[in-house]
Amino acid sequence: MAGNRVKDIRESLLMSKAELARKAGVSPLTVDRIERGEACRMATMRKIILALGLPLSEKEKIFPED
């Protein structure tokens, strides 16, 4: 999952890691790990996408397949 765009999109929305974590219902540490490209569960990906205000159909734009 290296190379996801979570950080780019979050920053373009002027959203802090803590705010994204709160909206997604995950820890700020989880957001940090995802932004560094570490693996996460599909359910966590879903929460992040929705917390960024994007439809699930845009998953590939945020988490491109390797």
Q: Can you give the pTM of this predicted structure? A: 0.89
Residues 6+ apart with CB under 8 A from 30: 21, 40, 44
Cα–Cα distance, 22 to 28 (Å, whole number): 8
Tokens of 15: 């959203």
Instruction: Tell me how far apart the alpha carbons of residues 59 and 52 are, in angstroms, rounded to a whole number.
Output: 11
**Domains in the chain, start-ordered, CATH in brackets?**
6-56 (1.10.260.40)
| Residue 1 confidence class, pLDDT cut points 50, 70, 90 | very low
Residue 20 has a CB neighbour count (10 Å cut-off) of 24
Backbone angles phi, psi at 38, to 5 degrees: -75, 155
Which tens digits make up the pLDDT trace of 40-51? 999 999 999 999
Q: What is the tens place of the pLDDT at every residue in 9-47?
A: 999 999 999 999 999 999 999 999 999 999 999 999 999
